[in-house]
Each structure stands twice: as structure tokens, then as C-alpha cells.
Amino acid sequence: MQTPSMATVNRAIGRELFRTTRSYNERDAILYALGIGAGVDPLSPNELKFVYEGSADFQVLPSFAVNFASDLFDFALRGEMAGIHYDPSRLVHGEIALELHKPLPRSASVASRTRIADIFDKGSGMLMVLAIESRDEAGDLLATSRSSMFIRGLGGFGGGRGANAAFALPERPPDEICAEATSPRQALLYRLTGDRNPLHVDPGVAALATYPRPILHGLCTFGFASRAILKRYCANQAGRLLGMEARCSQHVFPGETLISEMWRVDKAEIRFQTRVKERDQVVLSRGRARIRA
């Protein structure tokens, strides 16, 4: 794997990678909800509303919007983006930011545009920031997201490191805590929503990436955190979660327990982190969510 030149990197910044149109229906929304742990209590109306289309209050989870550009995952597995070549097994999610401009309908046809917004040199690897804009059939903005891909071993090309925005958790115990175990089969289920990176299913690929076994998708962990915020601050009303962001700071193994610790900063902002109980490691950091009070 060869480190790209600064000229190659500069040519890549700003490049549109592709446009896609994806239609989804209730079945797709339900499969995603199951992939991030919804339905854990199948007798609860607050769980059924996300996994049963016959519920009087059926809703699409807001974090489902991260999959509008699902072709991105297959695109990234080719090992080349805008002239930058890499080993796909060394590609992991860095940061995720999602903004909802309206509640997600039960079904829709969504047109998305994906471009490279920026590229940073982190020394040990490259951080590629992808911006995704998604619109509904009427052309109205439905969701925007930024997905940072960290490519291990591809740093040292001479680019800027990028500045970290100021962030701090309140210096008090969490206002809310939500713990939920993932299933040992969680990655096998979540990959059916579109991210088929073999790192999450193939032990041989995981070993090449120096993991003892396949790891859970970062976007799956992000989804678990979004459900925790919905439960504790939004009365499980999907339309009240307006946006959220977090950094994937450590991996998760399927079967581990995720503990989301949350602080209300003001009327509309929640800050959070998610840790793995078994290893006591923070796996989502710098978490921030906007809610409709």
C-alpha cells in the first residue's frame, strides 16, 4: 500500500464520487431497526413501533438515514477513491455526523450525492471526510451526513492534521445511563442493511487487520446510541431527534454490552459517550445530539 502524493490528495478533495437513488420501504426500515437492537422487548409498544409495520404508531428510526448512500460501502471496498489506493481491510469509520431536515417517511425514493469534503493526515493514517446530501422525491432536503473514513497506514503524505472542535462532557455523573447487550450475531444482521465489509464477518480478514475476531460496524454502535437517546430524552418519538454526531474511538466485538452515558447540556443538546462494559473502554466519544424538546 503506497502513500499517495500531496498532489493526488489535493485533486481528490472536493471530488464528487457518485450519485445514487435508493428506494426504501417498511421492510428495509424494520431490518435496519433490528440491526441496531430494536425489538429487544417484543411486547413493548415502544419497541414494536420500530419493527412492526402494523403498529398504530409505526416510525422509521432517524439513524436509518446513514444508509441512504449505502452504495458508499461497496464503493469503498474497491480499494480506490478519487485516485487514492488503499487496503480495504484497513478502512474503519472515524467520525459520523447526521442531520435530519424532516422526519423520515415510512417509504421513499431518496436521491443522494456523495463527495470528498476533506482529507487529513493523522500520521498513523489518512482521515477522509465524505459529505452526503439526500433529497426526497420532491427534491426537498431529507438528510445530510458526514462520514469520516480512517485508513490505517496511509498517513505521512504531508497534509494538515485538522483541528479538533472544542468539546467536553459535563463534570458530573451522567444524567441518564442506558445499557444494552449486542448479540453475538449483531454484525451478521447489520451487514444486511448495506455495509458488507468482510472485516465485520470474516475471521481471516479481521486477523489481517490485527483483530482477534470480526468487529461490529461503527454505524451499528452509533445506531444503538441513537436508540438510547430516543428512549431517555425523546419518549421514543423518532421526529424529536434532529441530529447527532460521534467519534468511533474504539472497536466493539459483537456480543459485548454497550453503555451509553448521557448529559443534558441545555434544552436542545445532549452530550454522550458509549463504552463497552466488558473492557471498560469508550467506543463512541465526543457524542452530541440535538433534540426537539
Distance between CA atoms of 159 and 5, rounded to whole angstroms? 10
Cβ atoms of residues 61 and 68 within 8 Å:
no
**Number of helical (H) and strand (E) elements in the chain, helices listed first:** 7, 12
With the C-alpha atoms ordered 99, 102, 108, 113, is the resulting torsion angle positive or negative? negative
Q: So which residues are the catalytic ones?
A: 195, 200, 215, 218
Cell 448495506 found at: 194
Question: How big is the chain by its Cα radius of gyration, in Å?
Answer: 18
